[in-house]
Amino acid sequence: MNENHSDREWLYRKRWITRQIRSAVRNFPVVVITGARQVGKSTLLQKEFPSFKYLSLDDFSIIQQSKIDPASLWLDSDKIIIKDI
């Protein structure tokens, strides 16, 4: 635990935009969430969509897989979150 933060500060806070994101996910095959760094985009998606497969392009093996065989990213799930670098 970071000594500069209390335990309560690390609790996930629901975002007001969650309802709109859920609606977009129901209505469109691809949804892009973009914004400033370190504001909680990935945290929001992981907390609100736990059944989605989460892939991060911080992982070099995922980058290689996406270059060689991008369709394989969807093999075991049709609902995925891809986190860009």
pLDDT at 85: 76
Q: Is 2 inside any structural domain?
A: no
Residues 21/31, Cβ–Cβ less than 8 Å: yes
User: Mean pLDDT lowest for which of 47-51, 66-70, 74-78?
Assistant: 74-78
What average pLDDT is seen over the chain? 89
Say if 30 falls within a structural domain: yes
How far out from the chain centre does Cα 44 lie? Answer: 7
Mean pLDDT of 12-29: 94
Nearest to 41 by CA among 54, 26, 60: 54
- Helix intervals (H) in the chain: 18-27, 41-48, 60-68
Domain membership of residue 1 (yes or no) is no
Of 29, 40, 43, the closest CA to residue 74 belongs to 29
Note the pLDDT of residue 35. 93
For the stretch 31-45, pLDDT in tens is 999 999 989 999 999
**74 DSSP assignment:** G
Number of domains into which the chain is organized: 1
Q: Is residue 46 part of a domain?
A: yes
pLDDT > 70? residue 9: no
Q: What residues make up the domain containing 67?
A: 7-83
